[in-house]
């Protein structure tokens, strides 16, 4: 059986280390699930998620020099991210907002549900094509090149003027 990236397999947890778990695969092959590929949430102790001998479904995410890299979390549905852990939300919804009548009021003083209802969803920008990315890189290169050429030209003009005087 050829193992390619994206293949989903059934395996059994063979052993657990601090950095991941080794999984027995069909045809006497062994792969490893890194601790960062166990669950969608942060995993500090892999033993809270896996036990030796446990049957698991894994996805092949890479094969390097005979090593098989596996993932469990890529087969789980992603949970929507919320502002958790007491971290501030820096998406611009906490600053002052001008209200009718000209007075300012902090957005945080509004009830959370009312604040959410006033937001309009923003459509993400369409991904750029390879041609568009190339054009942007080319423009940046040309601008940098022109800048360097003009500074070299200015330097050489300055040197040639100073030679004429002396």
What is the chain's mean pLDDT, rounded? 78
Q: 81 or 150, which is more confident?
A: 150
Angle, CA of 142, 143 and 147, to the nearest 5°: 115
Of 67-76, 93-102, 144-153, 154-163, which range is least confident? 93-102
pLDDT confidence tier of residue 104, bands split at 50, 70 and 90: low
Q: In the predicted model, what is the mean pLDDT of residues 121-148?
A: 79
pLDDT confidence tier of residue 162, bands split at 50, 70 and 90: low
Query: What pLDDT, on a 0 to 100 scale, did the predictor assign at position 21?
Result: 94
Q: What is the dihedral of CA 53, 54, 56, 60, to 10 degrees?
A: -30
Q: What is the pTM of this model?
A: 0.48
Decide: 35 and 46 in contact? Cβ < 8 Å. Answer: yes
pLDDT confidence tier of residue 131, bands split at 50, 70 and 90: confident
pLDDT in tens, 29-77: 999 999 999 998 899 999 999 999 999 999 999 998 889 999 999 998 8
Q: Is the pLDDT of residue 109 over 60?
A: no
Query: What pLDDT, on a 0 to 100 scale, did the predictor assign at position 4?
Result: 87
Q: 97 or 47, which is more confident?
A: 47
For 92-126, the DSSP string reads S-SSEEEPTTS-EEEGGGS-HHHHHHH----PPPP
Residues constituting the chain: 166
């Amino acid at each position: 059986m050829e193992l390619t990236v994206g293949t989903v397999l059934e395996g059994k947890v063979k052993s657990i280390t601090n950095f991941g778990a080794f999984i027995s695969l069909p045809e006497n092959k062994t792969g490893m699930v890194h601790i960062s590929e166990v669950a969608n949430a942060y995993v500090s102790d892999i033993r809270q998620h896996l036990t030796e001998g446990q049957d698991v479904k894994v996805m092949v995410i890479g094969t390097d020099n005979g090593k098989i890299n596996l993932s469990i979390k890529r087969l789980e549905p992603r949970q929507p991210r919320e502002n958790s852990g007491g971290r501030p939300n820096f998406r611009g919804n906490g600053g002052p907002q001008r209200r009718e009548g000209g007075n300012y009021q902090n957005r945080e003083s509004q009830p959370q549900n009312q604040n959410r209802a006033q937001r309009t969803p923003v459509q993400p920008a369409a991904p750029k094509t390879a041609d568009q990315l190339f054009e942007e890189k080319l423009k940046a290169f040309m601008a940098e090149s022109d800048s360097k050429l003009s500074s070299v030209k200015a330097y050489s003009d300055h040197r040639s003027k100073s030679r004429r005087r002396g």
